[in-house]
Structure 1
Amino acid sequence: IVANAEDMLDIMVNAGYNGCLGVIINASNFSPDFFVLKTGVAGEILQKFSNYRMKLAIVGDFSEIENKSLRDFIRESNERGIVCFVESLEMALTKLSK
């Protein structure tokens, strides 16, 4: 479970060491706090990817999210392209290859 920015940084370092330019993670591998924006966990994690110029694709079903702030956050992230929220592994691979 990715509970904080330090957990994600460990993953990023390992991925970078192995020559990866991006990371794909299933949404279920994040702690619930990631999806509660006021905790700041998502912002810290996304900032790491921006700082290190590495892409992140989070795979899950985000269609039923009722929280407007979280929906806006997902939409804005998808528009920027460093971090994207997608429905499938295939979509994640496509996004990361751009």
Structure 2
Amino acid sequence: MTSLEKIHDVPVLVCAADGPAIEGERDAVDLIGDAGYLGARWVVVPAQRFGADFFQLRTRVAGHIVQKFAQYGVGLVVLGDISAHVGASSALADFVRESNGGRQLWFLTDREQLADRLRG
């Protein structure tokens, strides 16, 4: 289940934690389609909705998913605690740090961080 919310006047599609897994490009395109239909500029997906492959950069799953969002001009927020994944991979830690410095993909721990990011 998803819902459209406005956070600091930014339309955001927020996905429920108990939805289907986001495993590849097809799942990403479905979310992007929903976002486009509702006019959302960002899609927020709880971290637990992503399979382990997403957090193992060598699989390229994250790259393919993020690329789809970028192609359609929709931002992606991975929301939740991913510290176990980051602790296991310095490459992922670098990817998260670099992504959080941009305007396409953010890894955030909670809704408060999201609100702070969208405020500015």
Say whether the fold is shared (TM-score over 0.5).
Answer: yes
SS of residue matched to 2:78: strand
SS of residue matched to 2:98: helix
Partner AA of 1:46 in structure 2: V
- Paired position in structure 2 for 1:79: 101
* RMSD, aligned CA: 1.4
TM-score where L is the length of structure 2 = 0.75
- Unmatched 5+ residue regions in structure 1? none
8 Å CA contact retained: 2:23, 2:54:
yes
1:8 aligns with 2:28: yes
Per-residue CA deviations over 1:23-57 (Å, capped at 9, x if unaligned) read 00110001111001111100011111211111111
TM-score where L is the length of structure 1 = 0.90
Q: CA deviation at 1:63?
A: 3.6
- Percent of paired sites with the same residue: 37
Higher RCO structure, 1 or 2 (CA under 8 Å, sep 6+): 1
In the aligned structure 1, how far is the partner of 2:80 from the partner of 2:103?
A: 17
Q: 1 or 2, which has the higher helix percentage?
A: 1
